[in-house]
Amino acid sequence: EAQVTQNPRYLITVTGKKLTVTCSQNMNHEYMSWYRQDPGLGLRQIYYSMNVEVTDKGDVPEGYKVSRKEKRNFPLILESPSPNQTSLYFCASRRPTGELFFGEGSRLTVL
């Protein structure tokens, strides 16, 4: 079954405690991306990756890092989380036809 898998699905943490949200896809897609969804703001792109070792900033990259060492994995790293990073995060990979295939989301709360 085609899947984009994110972990954890839910996390409550404290300011400054480094965390990583993992993302893995089993469709051999080259392009992967991270979005955050906030009330009234829709989906905003954080980072994207065109392929292994190729990453670039999206619209709201501040406070985030990513890496793409293997095609299937695209982790999102928050080195020093702050309360304004409390959000719902989605990882996605892109089909050859152009549409994104999303994971189920990771709800992060930073206290």
Partner 1 sequence: DQQVKQNSPSLSVQEGRISILNCDYTNSMFDYFLWYKKYPAEGPTFLISISSIKDKNEDGRFTVFLNKSAKHLSLHIVPSQPGDSAVYFCAAAARGSQGNLIFGKGTKLSVKP
Choose the stretch contacting partner 1; rule: CB under 8 A; options: 21-29, 32-40, 61-69, 74-82. Answer: 32-40
12 lies in the site for partner 1, by CB under 8 A: no
Among candidates 109, 104, 90, which has minimal Cα distance to 37?
A: 90
Q: From the CB of 66, what's the least distance to partner 1, in Å?
A: 14
Query: What Cα–Cα distance (Å) separates residue 79 from each residue in 8, 14, 70?
Result: 16, 12, 21
**Nearest-approach distance from CB 71 to partner 1, in angstroms:** 17
Is residue 5 within 8 A of residue 73, CB to CB? The reply is no
The yes or no reply on residue 96 touching partner 1 (CB under 8 A) is no
Residue 2 CB coordination number (10 Å): 10
Least distance between partner 1 and beta carbon 56 (Å): 7
> Shortest approach of partner 1 to residue 89 CB, angstroms?
10
The angle formed by the CA atoms of residues 1, 35 and 17, to the nearest 5 degrees, is 105
Residues that bind partner 1 (CB under 8 A): 4, 31, 33, 35, 40-45, 48, 50, 56, 58, 90, 92, 94, 97-105
